Structure 1
């Protein structure tokens, strides 16, 4: 690995979680842990609907694991609202082997990605950069 591949930024992420019979959350976290050059931490709230503005202030991206949507719709809705309210980009991760994702989620996502660890990291960084560039254009 070349030194220029490393980024000293620590990305602050919210990763959708909840009822997860397919263990997508664990698999997702393992994927991004497999890339030591990507530094990140996860911010968790008991309820995203009632979390303070300060909680969302430093969030870089919201990761929605689309396979968890049907069992955790309320949490997803809270995260979608927070994304809009606090201008946080959404990275939508498709379930293993599926191309289709809920339309409601697809419409809100900055980017949609599968389960390749390199693509996940690139998508997170890209979504954040796209969001920052849009703010500059205003």
Structure 2
């Protein structure tokens, strides 16, 4: 029986294709098992009344994960919530959550903020992402 890895994928609801593409990459390996504690757009916490409620809801989801995956697309640099998710991963738990930065496929510009926060930076391919999860998770 293989280990199930608990992951939180930080993503922008404005760019669902990146999240869905990453899930497809993770699902390519039939021997890799994971639980996704990310916050999908249709989840009720998406409509949290205040920023503090959303922050706490994200923290609660992230607490279940052993590793945080962040898309390192340039939009991440300007995302208030991705920056808050980095803060949560690094400061809100007794042991900081390791961060994996995934550089988008064929991307020339990536987020310096995400890459600086990352414990590991990988390319947009199934084997490198899964390998990083196994190493850090």
Identify the TM-score tier after normalising by the shorter chain: 0.7 to 0.9
Offset at 1:44? 3.1
Aligned-residue CA RMSD (Å):
2.3
**Structure 1 segments (4+ residues) deviating >6 Å:** none
* Structure 1 portions without partners, runs of 5+: 1-6, 129-138
TM-score (norm 1): 0.75
The match for 1:39 is 33
With the length of structure 2 as denominator, give the TM-score of the two structures.
0.75
For the residues of structure 2 that align with 1:52 and 1:62, how far apart are their CA atoms? 12
Query: Could you tell me how far apart the structure 2 residues matched to 1:69 and 1:52 are?
Result: 17
What are the within-5 Å matches in structure 2 for residues 88-103 of structure 1? 88-98=97-107, 100-103=109-112
2:56 alignment partner in structure 1: 50
CA contact (8 A) 2:10 2:82 kept: yes
Number of residues of Structure 1 aligned to a counterpart in Structure 2:
120
| Contiguous gaps of at least 5 residues in structure 2 | 40-44, 46-52
